[in-house]
Structure 1
C-alpha cells in the first residue's frame, strides 16, 4: 500500500493532465435542430430559420393571410450557461413573445442531484410551467408569501418553489432570466448596455433629514423649465410651425416646468414621503427596482388627458445608452387609502397644485444609477381638421445621480443576493452555532474539565447539526460540491452556482479556515448532519447498553483506505462522464437521509438504512471507512499547522487507556493521535484532565513522583 501523500500526489498529476486535455474541448452549446423546435411548437406556430447573429428561432403564426411574429424560441445554454448545483448548467427551451412575456419553458436537460432519482423530475417540470404568462417586466418572486395587496400589484409575479430544492430552483430562475434578458436586450429593446446583474446599486442606508430646497441644491431633485419660444423653435420647418397660437402670443411664458427625483434613493424618498408611504414603497418593489417621481406644471401635461393609471405613459419616456427603458405608472388605485392620505408628497407650498406621478422601473430592465437618466418629453402638434397631420418633437430631460448615493457595479452583484437576504434568520442562527463551536474548540477545557459537561453538550450540538443544519437549512456538504467545482472548472464555467446556497457557502468557508487550525475533525465530528445522525444512533445504543463490534487495529487500518479509493474513483468518473457522476455519487446517503429525509424511491432508502445499520455494529462505520467526502476532508486536513490535542510522555508508554477508549480508533498504540482520522469528540481530553481516569494522574495522586509533562 503506497503512502497517502505519494498516492495523492500521483492522483493530482493525473487529474491535471486530464484537465488540460478537457479544457481544449468545446464548451456547452445548444442541441436542438430546427425540426426539434418545429416538433415543440406545432401549428398554428411557424418556426423560422435560426438567427445567424443570435441563436434564436423566430416564431410566427398564421392569421388569415398574414404571418406576424409572435415570439422567439431559444436554448438557455446558448445565452447564459449558469452552472447548476452540481456544476452543470440547465438547458431549457424558452419561448417568449415580442413583449417579453413567457409563452412556455421546457426542461431539455439538467444534472440537479435533488431531481435525479431524488424528488424526481415532476416537481421541476411543474415549477417550469408556472412561468407561462409571466413577463420579464415583472419581478419574479419565488416562495414569497405576498399580502393581498402585493398579489394585486401586477408589477410582481409569485412562483411556488420546490421544498428541499431551494438552491436548484433559484439557479433555474437565474438561468431563465439571464438567457431571456440576453434575447430581450438584443431583440426587444431592453437596456442593451446594462446587464441587470452588473449594475450599480443605490445605497439603502444613506439618509439624513433634508428640506426640498436642500434636495434641489444637492442635485437629488432636478428642475427643468421650457418657454413657449423654446418649444416653437423645435417645430420650425415642420407642419407644426406656427400652430400654437397661445404660445406665439406669449413667447416668454412658461410652457412647462418639471421636477424629476428618484424616490428609491432613501435621501429622497424618506424626505418626500410620509413613513407609511415609504414603507409601502419598500414593500411593493424589489431590491433593484427604482421609482421615479415626476412633478409638472404649465400649459402642457406630461402624461396627457387620456392617461390610464398603471399603464406606460405616452408623453414621457426614459432612455439609457440610447435604448428605451420601460417606465410604468406606480399604480396605487387599489390602495386609495394610501393614495389619498399617506401617499401625499411633501411638497413646498408653491408646488401644492402641481401634477405629479410616480413611475416604476423594474430591476430586470437594467437601469443603472451610475449612468445618466435620459428622459424625453414628447410634444405633439397637429395641422388640419378632418384628417390632421401630426408631428412630434422631444424635449430632452437629462438627470444624474451623484456617486455618493450608489455603490459602483461589481462582478458579484448577482441575483443570488436576494436569496441571501431572504435567509437572514437562517444565516444568523448558523453563524451563532459556528461561533459557539469555535469557542468550544478554542477553550475546550470548559467542557473537558467535567465529563458531564461534554456528555450533555456534544449530543445537543449534534442535534442542532442534524435538525437545523441538515434537515431544516439543507446545509449538508457533499462530494457533489467537489465534483461540481471540478466539472465547472474543466468546462471553464464560473463557480457562482455555489452562491445560491448560503448555508453551503458559509460552512465550506468555515471548514476551509479550520483546516489550518484543527484539521478534518471539525466538520466530520461536529458539522456533518449524517455523521451526527450516526453518532446519535451510536449514543442511543450505548444508553441501551447494546454492544458494538471493535474492529482489530490491523483491519481498521486497512478499511480506512477504502474511502480514499472511493474518492479517487468518483473524481475519475467526474472528469470523464457527467451523467455517470450523478450515479456514482449516490454512494453517499446524504441526499436520501438528510436532503430528502428518506422521501425517496426504495433502493436509495434501503442503501441509507444499510449504512445507518452499519453504525449499529461498527461505530460510525460509514464515516470511517466509506465516505469520499471524509477522505477529501482528511487530505485537506493535512493543512493543519499544529497538533492541538494535549498528550503526555506517558501516553502510549505505558498508558493505553485513550487508545482503548477511542471509538474512532484514531489513537495509535504509541499514544500519537492520527489527526487524519480524529473526529474531535474530546473524550480523550476528558481522560487527560481526569485524575480518576488518566493513569499518570492517578499514580501521581497516590504519591508516586512521576514527572508530568505535556507535549505538543
Structure 2
C-alpha cells in the first residue's frame, strides 16, 4: 500500500516537472546596446556592434578601436547550478589582455542568498591585467614549487568552488571565442589526430634525423650568461665551478602516433599509455626527458597537475599542459635520462600537433637566505609533428571544463572514498556485528561527527534539493547535467546514496551521510542529557506531518519551472546552506531559522528530517528502488512484541512489526534489539521456555 502511494507521489513529481518545464534553456540574448553603454566608463567608450552576438568595439578617448566588449552569456552559456549561465561583461584589449570583468547577472544559490555576491565580485576583481595568453588556474600553488612558476593562480571562493570554476571557464571560453575571431594567432581548423591505421618501423636514429625527436642543450655557462648583470648572477656555484657542464639536455617527442610511441617507450609503458589514451582520447601525449641537472619540475611538484617549470605556447596563446601521471620507462637503445615524464596537451582546447608550437623551460634562481627573491629565465625549443602520422578531423570538441575540479580535490576524494567504503562494509556484511557492539552509540556519534566536520564543513558535501532541481531542469532541457560534475565531492556522495537506495532505501544518506541530520541527532542527545521533556506526536499526527515534505518537494519543483527567479529563495526551506555551507555567518533570520530546527531537535527527534525536508522526500522516493527487506523480522514482531516499535524514534515501524522503509533512517537500533538475546523479547521468552523444559 505504502509503496503504491509513494509511486504515485514520484509520478506526480516527475509529471509536474515535465508539465511546467516546457521552456528550454538557451544562450541568453545579448543585452541591448543602451544597457551596455552606461557600463563602459571613460577613458573607454562603446563602439559599433561587430555582429549579432553582442560583441562591440572598445574605443579609447580618441575614438580609436583598442579592443572588444562582450558578454559571456551569449558566447559561452555554461549553465550553473540554477540551470542558467553566469553572465559577465568583459573588456578585452586587442592583445588579449583583460581590462575588466564585471558581473551582470547570476543565479548561483550560494551567491544569491548564502555568501552574497561580494566574494564573487572579489574573485572577478583578480582578472583585470591578466592575459588570455597566460596559463590561468583557479586554485593555489602546491608547496614551494609554486614560487616563480609560469602558472597564474586565481584565489577561488572556498565555499563556492564549483560556481567560480564555472565562471572562470565561461570567461576563458568567451574570451577565446572572440580572440579566435578577432585576434590573429589561433587557427580555425580542427586539430589533427593520430591516424590509427598508419604504422611505420622507427628507430631512435630515425627519430633524431627526421626531427621527430628534438633536443635542447644548455650549458652552465649559458645559464650564467642569461643571469649576467642581475642580482642572481652568482647564486649558482655549481654552474660557476663547471661552466661546460650541461644544465639542460632536454629531448621532446610527440608520442601521440603509436609508431613513435612504440619506438621510444618500453612495452609496459607503451601499454599503459594506450590505456590512458582510451580514457582520454583527446589528449596529445608529449614525452620530455632531461639528462642535465635542471630537472623537469620543482621538488614540490604534485603528479597529475600542471608542470610548474615547463610551459608551452602555440600561435601566441598558452597550451595547457598537464602531467599524464604515467610511470615512464624508455625502450632499449634510448638515452638514459635523469628525469622523464609524459605531458598531455588537449586538442579540445585548440592544440594542433601539426602547427608549430614552442616548449619553454624555466630556470629559477633564489637570492638571499630569508624570504629569498626569485628570478627566472627561459629556454625554448620549437616543435611540430610530421603530418604523415595524422588525420585532420572536421569536428572540434570543447573541453569538459569540470575536469580541473576533480584533480584539485583528489586528496579529499580519496579520503571520502575510503570512508564511504568502510561505512558500506559496516552497514552491509558487518551490520549485525556492528549494531551489536557494546559501544555502538558512541561509535555512531563519532562517525556522525566526522560527517559534520569532513563531509559538511570541510568538503562542502551537504547534498541539497538545489541539485535535484538542477537535474530536473536539465532533464527537460532547461539546463545541463554537466553542472553536476563541477562538484565531484558531492557527486560521489550522490552516487553512493543512489547505490544505497537499492541496498537499504533512503537510510544510508539520511541516517549516516547528511551533515545537518547529524547535527540534529547531536542536539537530540543533548536534550536527553538535559532531561528536557520530549514531544512525541501521536501515530495519526506523525503520519500526517510526514506528508509535508512531499508537499514541499512538489512546491519547489513548481517554483523552479514556473518562477525560476524565486527558486533559490524557495530552496531556503532547507537550513543546510546556513548551517553547513556558510557556518551560520549570514543574515540573522536565516541563522534563526536553522537554529530553530536544531533547538527543536532537542525535544522533537530530527523534526526537520522527518516532516519537512524536501530532499528527504526525494530520498524516500529513490528508496522505491530498494530490492529487499534488509531488516530481519520474526513472527512475534508486532504480535505480541512491540519493543522495536516503541524504541524506534523515527516512527518507521508499524504495529504489525513491519518496517516502513520510506521513513527508516537506518539507525540500526531495531537490529541491535533483534540480534540481542538479552533485549529481544521473543528470544528472552524462548530462552526461559528452554530453561523450564530442561
TM-score (normalised: structure 1): 0.73
What's the offset of the Cα at 1:325?
Answer: 5.0
Residue 277 (str. 1) matches residue 295 (str. 2): yes
8 Å contact kept, 1:127–1:160: yes
Determine the C-alpha separation between the residues in 1 that align with 2:180 and 2:396.
20
| Residue 477 of structure 1 pairs with residue 463 of structure 2 | yes
Q: Provide the C-alpha distance between the structure 1 equivalents of 2:347 and 2:47, rounded to a whole number of angstroms.
A: 28
RMSD across aligned positions (CA): 3.9
SS in 2 for 1:158: strand
Q: 1:361 to 1:479 in 2, by over 3 A?
A: closer
User: Given the superposition, is the C-alpha separation of residues 397 and 497 from structure 1 closer, same or farther in structure 2, using an over 3 Å criterion?
Assistant: closer
Q: 1:544 to 1:672 in 2, by over 3 A?
A: same
Counterpart in 1 of 2:23? 22
Show CA shifts across 1:585-635 (max 9, x none).
001000000011101110100000111112111100000000000001101
Q: Is residue 140–residue 156 contact of structure 1 (8 Å, CA) maintained in 2?
A: yes
Q: Which of residues 13, 23, 27 is equivalent to 2:15?
A: 13
Contact persistence 2:96–2:132 (CA under 8 A): yes
1:410 and 1:463, CA in 2 relative to 1: closer, same or farther beyond 3 A? farther
Partner of 1:261: 252
1:119-144 deviation line (CA, Å, top 9, x unaligned): 21111111111100011111112231
| Matched residue, 2:261 | none
Counterpart contact for 2:502–2:627, Cα < 8 Å: yes
Are residues 673 and 411 of structure 1, via their aligned partners in 2, closer, same or farther at CA, if it must alter by over 3 Å? farther
Q: Structure 1 residue 138 and structure 2 residue 134: aligned?
A: yes
Separation (CA, whole Å) in 2 of partners of 1:276 and 1:270: 13
Offset at 1:290? 12
Q: Is the 1:96–1:104 Cα contact (8 Å) retained in structure 2?
A: yes
CA distance in 2, matches of 1:473, 1:140: 24
CA contact (8 A) 1:219 1:401 kept: no
| Contact kept in structure 1, 2:16 and 2:558, CA below 8 Å | no
Between 74-83 and 7-16, report the one with greater CA deviation.
7-16
1:611 aligns with 2:600: no
8 Å CA contact 1:88, 1:487 repeated in 2: no
Matched, 1:182 2:177: yes
C-alpha contact (below 8 Å) 2:525/2:602 kept by paired residues: no
For 2:498 and 2:181, how far apart are their aligned partners in 1? 42
Determine the structure 2 residue equivalent to 1:500: 486
Alignment partner, residue 89 of structure 1 = 85
Q: Does 1:446 align with 2:410?
A: no
Superposition map of 1:329-340 within 5 A = none
1:570-589 CA distances to partner (integer Å, 9 max, x unpaired)?
Answer: 00000111111011100100
- The answer for the alignment partner of 1:79 in structure 2 is 75
Question: Which residue number in structure 1 is paired with residue 636 of structure 2?
Answer: 650
Q: 1:172 aligns with which of 157, 167, 172?
A: 167
The aligned residue for residue 354 of structure 2 is: 372
Following superposition, the deviation at residue 215 of structure 1 comes to 5.4
Distance 1:147 1:290, change over 3 A: closer
- What is the CA deviation profile of residues 677-698 of structure 1, one whole-angstrom value per residue up to 9, with x for unaligned ones? 0000000000001111111100
Q: CA–CA distance in 1 between the matches of 2:57 and 2:355?
A: 32
In structure 1, the partner of 2:213 is 221
Change (3 A) 1:137 1:397: closer
Check whether the contact 1:466–1:533 (CA below 8 A) recurs between aligned residues.
yes
Per the TM alignment, residue 162 of structure 1 is displaced from its structure 2 partner at its CA by 1.8
How has the CA–CA distance of structure 1 residues 472 and 622 changed in structure 2, closer, same or farther, with 3 Å as cutoff? same
> Contact between 2:23 and 2:478, CA under 8 Å: does it hold in 1?
no
CA positional deviation for 1:86? 2.8
Shift of 1:217: 8.1
**For 2:209 and 2:503, how far apart are their aligned partners in 1?**
55
Which residue pairs with 1:303 in the alignment?
none
Give the Cα–Cα distance (whole angstroms) in 2 for the partners of residues 327 and 159 of structure 1. Answer: 16
1:156 correspondence with 2:121: no
Cα drift, residue 51 of structure 1: 1.8
Instruction: Report if aligned partners of 2:135, 2:152 keep a CA contact under 8 Å in 1.
Output: yes
The alignment of Structure 1 onto Structure 2 pairs a total of residues equal to 577
Pairing 1:574–2:570 present:
no
Partner Cα distance (2:335, 2:16) in 1: 74
Aligned to 1:45: 44
Q: Which residue of 1 aligns with 2:117?
A: 121
Distance 1:672 1:505, change over 3 A: same
Distance in 1 between the 2:473 and 2:162 partners?
18
Distance 1:286 1:99, change over 3 A: farther
1:59–1:264 distance in 2 versus 1, CA, 3 Å: farther
Q: Secondary structure at the match of 2:99?
A: strand
Deviation at 1:44, TM superposition (A): 2.9
CA–CA distance in 1 between the matches of 2:46 and 2:620? 55
Question: Quick one: distance in 1 between partners of 2:612 and 2:474?
Answer: 25
Contact 2:142 2:301 in 1 (8 A): no
Once residues 424 and 397 of structure 2 are traced to their aligned partners in structure 1, the CA distance between those partners, rounded to angstroms, is 32
Task: From the CA coordinates, give the structure whose radius of gyration is larger.
Answer: 1
Structure 1's 530 and 263: CA in aligned 2 closer, same or farther, altered over 3 A? same
Does the 8 Å contact 1:262/1:290 carry over to 2? Answer: no
Distance of aligned partners of 1:149 and 1:699 in 2 relative to their CA distance in 1, 3 Å threshold = closer
Match of 1:512 in 2: 498
Find the aligned partners of 2:357 and 2:603 in 1 and give their Cα distance.
Answer: 74
Report how far residue 264 of structure 1 moved: 10
In structure 2, runs of 5+ residues without a counterpart are: 195-201, 216-249, 257-263, 266-285, 322-333, 337-342, 359-381
TM superposition shift of 1:400: 4.0
Task: Output the CA distance in 1 between the equivalents of 2:389 and 2:634.
Answer: 62
Q: Residues 263 and 292 of structure 1 are in contact (CA less than 8 Å); yes or no, is this contact kept in structure 2? A: no
| 8 Å CA contact retained: 2:485, 2:491 | yes
For the residues of structure 1 that align with 2:300 and 2:144, how far apart are their CA atoms?
A: 16
Taking the TM superposition and a 5 Å limit, the aligned residue runs for 1:598-637 are: 598-637=584-623
**CA distance in 2 between partners of 1:131 and 1:691 (Å):** 67
Distance 1:577 1:684, change over 3 A: same
